[in-house]
Structure 1
Amino acid sequence: MQGVPSPTQVWMSHGDTITSVPDTYRVIASTEDVRYAAFRIEGERSWGIQFHPEVYHSTDGITLLRNFVVGICGCKQDWTPESFVETTVRELREKLGDDRVVLGLSGGVDSSVAAVLLHRAIGKNLYCIFVDSGLLRKNEFDSVLESYKGMGLNVKGVKAHDRFLGDL
């Protein structure tokens, strides 16, 4: 709770609560209604909270999260999006070598980011398949497929909307 004023405001959006704890638990934060809002376990590097530090309503949530990530877990604060990309591409290249990879694309952010990172790592050895399931917006399949091609991805578009929608 270093750097967190007392009292502070936190968001507890649930009705459940911890009503008792073992003798080794030490209360480090409480509210009028919740005795064990935060606790630590004596003799361990373990803590627990019963509120949401990540939401806007927890006014010192960022400080709490930073204390945990940096102070307790020992994570460095030298991460940048660029360093993440460099490290990930290097690790993929080392792990995959000359292997070939087939990747299914949904058109969403997760598979698209995975495709770009893999493409940077293994280039032409990445084969992407983008399936039109019929669940995208009107004309979105063609638009997204062209975007993938514009990024230099080796991608095959498969129009299978009739099959998908027929099986729903």
Structure 2
Amino acid sequence: MPTDSVVHQLAIRVGNKLRDERLTLATAESCTGGMVATAITDISGSSGWFERGFVTYSNQAKHEMIGVPADMLERHGAVSEPVAHAMAEGALRNSRAQVSLAITGIAGPGGGSKEKPVGMVVFAWSNRLHTEVETLVFKGDREQIRVQAAAHSLRGLLTLLDEKER
């Protein structure tokens, strides 16, 4: 399926910003299943600013590939701010990138609970000095939630990069 045009346009903006600042990005995606990495690698020349992407869908992958502590996953669950924070920092630790983004959530249609409803997505962005975390709840079907999450992750990265300049 082609990348959503909003996500594609945001990926272009992110790429321009990263290229201008001579930075590279690593991604750690769960519920988006590599959608952000796809949007990025759809752009010619993205190898100049995209270092690598981790699709860590299972808890085991989060633990083995990017070092999210198993006890943290057990204590908080995969869809939590501590795990998103650890995912973003783990993506940096396991790459040569200077900035990262992480996404973990419940895209549905099943898997939700009262405490963690379908559409709940947790984001984290890191620049090796600071990690920002945010939780949102999106409405829509599985695909709509995933697209909204991918777009929001790229907007958050643009914000992180803009703050770096101040």
Fold-level similarity (TM above 0.5): no
Name the TM-score, length of structure 1 as normaliser: 0.28
**Higher RCO, Cα 8 Å, sep 6+:** 2
More helix by share: 2
